[in-house]
Amino acid sequence: MSEYVAPLRDMRFALELAGLDAVSALPGLEDSSADVVDAVLDEAARFAGEVLSPLNRVGDRMGASLGDDGRVTMPEGFAAAYRQYADNGWNGMGCDPEHGGAGMPHVVVAMIQEMVMGANMAFSLCPLLTAGAIEALSLCGSGEQKHLYLEKMVSGQWTGTMNLTESQAGSDLAAVRTRAEPQSDGSWRVFGQKIFITYGEHELAENIVHLVLARTPGSPEGVKGISLFVVPKFIPDADGNPGVRNDLRCVSLEHKLGIHASPTCVMAYGDAGGATGWLCGEENRGIEYMFIMMNAARYAVGLQGIAVAERALQQALGYARERLQGGEAGVKGGGSVAIVRHPDVRRMLMLMKSQVEAMRALAAVTAAAQDRAERHPDADERARAQAFAELMTPLVKGWSTETGNDVASLGVQVHGGMGYIEETGAAQYLRDARITNIYEGTTGIQANDLVSRKIARDGGAAARAVIADMKAQAAALEATGDDSLCAIATALAQSVSALERGVDFVLANWRSDVRAVLAGAVPLLGLFGRVAGGWQMARAALLAHQRLAAGSDEAAFYRAKIVAARFYADHVLSQAAGLAQVVCDGAAGVLDEASGL
């Protein structure tokens, strides 16, 4: 197994595509200058490669374990690595300076997160969930709750979780049964059991702040009757330090296909009289608040798909360059060559490489839009950026994680039989990747969100604005007259037409035949993701072309960018027409009751 090496050059290129200079000029982000960002990225790369990456295999082999006393023991080295992570300020990199954070732009934080995830995905889940809890408390918590919890959570001294689902509920949060009873002192007693709670119990931090969905007496049925509660593992004392142990415990750990070092807990609340909790925000608005955490987590899980794909690519490329097997096609009398010389291995590696670059660029552009949506001085620009970020989020989550699975599988294939052997490490990336398109909302849930809330709800306005930008990008490439760029432009224009057909189908049939639309929702998400990625690859190719024309001293890097964009156009964008056909005409076989399902 090779160690992770952060793809800093490509990350900096993605930041350039995302407009980091403009982001750094936004109010409140002026300190994130290019030299500061460069230094931060360099140090993050060092930490990820030297501290977290060596623990990736250790964590997979040892896993987290639950003792008879209810304590979770982390794999060797994780506690020390987490202390370094927190002490070096990585946990608060994107948080408000008011609470001790560094206040870095979302787009820069995304690159840091990808490094941490790529180096050690299981480790990265702890700060990922803490970040979501910080966001929810920042926006919905009371002044007292913010004072009590945020500084310690931002520093990493305390961690956070979100407790949504239950065994009978799954993704249907309307079926949540955990209940909360009011107490005379303003607190609540929480009773119930939650499943799939990431880092619900561990030894990395001195306290764990659980955000728990529960029903209050007399609340409405369904999702409208759910509230959000702050339920800490240790109840803070008068000085804000961990005090009495709360009535909550981890009763078991899930035995998972991958991410073995991440303790996925079944949490029980109130077995000894009720866990003490405090209402977060207003009663019966828990789902609304939880989605603050959920949306942040969905984007972050999309980054996990990119990160594990990058790790699989690095492993596969390193192996392909070293593994000698067979002669080179078309060369008579030659000896064995590295398998990277074989056309089909090159095809697989380029499919991995081009899609990783496309996903990273799309994620960066989306994060930059989040920065503009929060901080741009012009209200109209904030609204446009918000609409774009919301439209792209299910793509970043759904398409990137599905593609991450495909890339990790290709990584095994490049290794051949050795990829199926655990010692090479390729299999771990495939096992770890498999959860990413399930948790924080399956791909089907992301696709339903895309067609209902992001396309149908606004009459396709946001989608059509993006399509217009894509068409303009194709025209800009065509205008260069360069053969490679013109070929990319043609493929992009054709794929955009296919996407437009799919969007038009959703808008024409959403009210009259919603089942037909939903039958093609996942194919539409795949179509939109591929085309959005191709759009970013086209932008990358044009920028690379301009740099080469200006005589850049990084000619090899920019030539490779154009080659990757051309490959993506030929091998990925060419799938668009078929996916559009499925979106528009594929419902009959799905919905026919004679299918025998």
CA distances from 413 to 4, 14, 351, 421 (A): 20, 28, 12, 12
Q: Which residues pair with 181 in a beta bridge?
A: 189
| Residue 120 scores a pLDDT above 70 | yes
Q: What is the pLDDT of residues 151-188, one digit of tens each?
A: 999 999 999 999 988 988 666 666 789 999 999 999 99
Question: What is the per-residue pLDDT for 358?
Answer: 98
Question: What is the per-residue pLDDT for 106?
Answer: 98
What integer is the mean pLDDT of 108-113?
98
| Residue 573 scores a pLDDT above 80 | yes
Q: What is the pLDDT of residues 253-268, one digit of tens each?
A: 999 999 999 999 999 9
What integer is the mean pLDDT of 344-368?
98
State the DSSP code for 27: T
Q: What is the pLDDT of residues 371-412, one digit of tens each?
A: 999 999 999 999 999 999 999 999 999 999 999 999 999 999
Q: What is the pLDDT of residues 439-494, one digit of tens each?
A: 999 999 999 999 999 999 999 999 999 999 999 999 999 999 999 999 999 999 99
Question: What is the per-residue pLDDT for 236?
Answer: 96
What integer is the mean pLDDT of 183-195?
97
What integer is the mean pLDDT of 139-144?
94
What integer is the mean pLDDT of 514-528?
98
| Concatenated DSSP letters of 55-87 | HHHHHHHH--EE-TTSPEEPPTTHHHHHHHHHH
| Concatenated DSSP letters of 79-136 | HHHHHHHHHTTGGGTTS-GGGT-----HHHHHHHHHHHHHH-HHHHHHHHHHHHHHHH
State percent of the chain over pLDDT 90: 93
Q: Which two tokens stand for residue 553?
A: 């001293």
Question: What is the per-residue pLDDT for 461?
Answer: 97
Q: Are 137 and 158 in contact (CB under 8 A)?
A: no
| Residue 122 scores a pLDDT above 80 | yes
Q: Which two tokens stand for residue 453?
A: 């809330």
| Residue 322 scores a pLDDT above 80 | yes
What integer is the mean pLDDT of 38-59?
98
Give the whole-angstrom CA distance, residue 158 versus residue 152: 5
Q: Are 226 and 287 in contact (CB under 8 A)?
A: yes
Question: What is the per-residue pLDDT for 428?
Answer: 98
Nearest to 375 by CA among 17, 28, 21: 28
Task: Give burial (CB, 10 Å; 0-12/13-18/19+) of 144.
Answer: exposed
What integer is the mean pLDDT of 415-433?
97
Question: What is the per-residue pLDDT for 172?
Answer: 65
Question: CA angle, corner 529, sides to 523 and 534, nearest 5?
Answer: 130
Question: What is the per-residue pLDDT for 176?
Answer: 83
Question: What is the per-residue pLDDT for 222?
Answer: 85
Nearest to 393 by CA among 297, 457, 258: 297
State percent of the chain over pLDDT 70: 99
Question: What is the per-residue pLDDT for 289?
Answer: 87
| Residue 503 scores a pLDDT above 70 | yes
CA distances from 80 to 51, 74, 94 (A): 9, 11, 22
Banded model confidence at residue 295, pLDDT cuts 50, 70, 90: confident
What integer is the mean pLDDT of 192-217?
96
Give the whole-angstrom CA distance, residue 90 versus residue 135: 16
Nearest to 467 by CA among 512, 424, 504: 504
Rounded to 10 degrees, the C-alpha dihedral 532/535/540/546 comes to: -160
Q: Are 439 and 433 in contact (CB under 8 A)?
A: no
Q: Which two tokens stand for residue 178?
A: 């955990």
Q: Are 212 and 200 in contact (CB under 8 A)?
A: no
Helical (H) or strand (E) element with 468: helix 461-478
Nearest to 466 by CA among 415, 390, 398, 412: 390
| Residue 553 scores a pLDDT above 90 | yes
| Residue 518 scores a pLDDT above 90 | yes
| Residue 202 scores a pLDDT above 80 | yes
Banded model confidence at residue 195, pLDDT cuts 50, 70, 90: very high
Question: What is the per-residue pLDDT for 344?
Answer: 98
What integer is the mean pLDDT of 556-585?
98
- Multiple choice CATH, 53-88+120-284, 2.40.40.20, 1.10.260.40, 2.40.110.20, 3.40.190.10: 2.40.110.20
Q: Are 343 and 359 in contact (CB under 8 A)?
A: no
Mean pLDDT (the chain, rounded): 96
State the DSSP code for 146: I
Q: Which two tokens stand for residue 550?
A: 């200006």
CA distances from 78 to 52, 156, 209, 442 (A): 8, 14, 20, 29
SS (H, E, C) 241-258: CEEEECCEEEEEECCCCC
State the DSSP code for 207: E
Q: 158-163 and 207-215 as β-strands: parallel, antiparallel, unpaired?
A: parallel
What integer is the mean pLDDT of 309-329?
96
Question: What is the per-residue pLDDT for 409?
Answer: 98
Q: HSE on the CB side for 53, CA within 13 Å?
A: 23
Nearest to 454 by CA among 535, 380, 397, 400: 397
Banded model confidence at residue 340, pLDDT cuts 50, 70, 90: very high
Query: Is 310 one of the catalytic residues?
Result: no
Question: What is the per-residue pLDDT for 169?
Answer: 66
Catalytic residue from among 135, 151, 357, 440: 440
Question: What is the per-residue pLDDT for 510?
Answer: 97
Buried b (16+ CB within 10 A) or exposed e, 410-447: bbbbbbeeebeeeebbbbbbbbbbbbbbebbbbbbbbb
Q: 264-269 and 179-182 as β-strands: parallel, antiparallel, unpaired?
A: unpaired
What integer is the mean pLDDT of 272-276?
97
Q: Are 138 and 172 in contact (CB under 8 A)?
A: no
